[in-house]
Structure 1
């Protein structure tokens, strides 16, 4: 590498068909707070929790695919899995200990966007 540089911020942007609904979903499930919104009507929202950001962008008619749109590393994966179950969040892949060293599960947001959640196993 010829020049030195530092990464400062790199946040996933998830396409959603209803920004308000999706912002409320991620706030409820992940305990995130809205820190920015843009457009009239709103077409872009930034949510944040403890320095972790998620960007939501309006794409009318968007539907999720079978691909994961984000990978979220956490401490307390079992607690988050339980929260998702309590809130009726669609679980795409149940919680398991994967052979690549993570305890992991996959959930879907209201548009069917899949988020892979993991925690390093001790």
Structure 2
């Protein structure tokens, strides 16, 4: 992120956290599936654990992407963090509050940018 290449920073975070498939509709997993995992779904557990491990970096990336009008990058990071946050006990209270603030901020920025296009 220090080089301001946020797309590369997102790619690195997804690789380090092993969370490429987390936060997409294509995973086919609901909350009950995540909580009652079988060996076949172990990669989802590892992805959630990776997101939690790098939660601060995901939050920083979201802030940087929103600040530089790179909404797609912020959206991708938000999807992963929100998916991990939906697992009970995965994120701590301060991380959940930070996620809620960033979701609200990102939504407001998106609303403003769409409104200015009209």
TM-score between both structures, scaled by the size of structure 1: 0.27
| Bigger relative CO (Cα 8 Å, ≥ 6 apart) | 2
Point out the structure with the larger helix share: 2
Q: Which structure has the bigger radius of gyration?
A: 1
Point out the structure with the larger strand share: 1
TM-score between both structures, scaled by the size of structure 2: 0.28
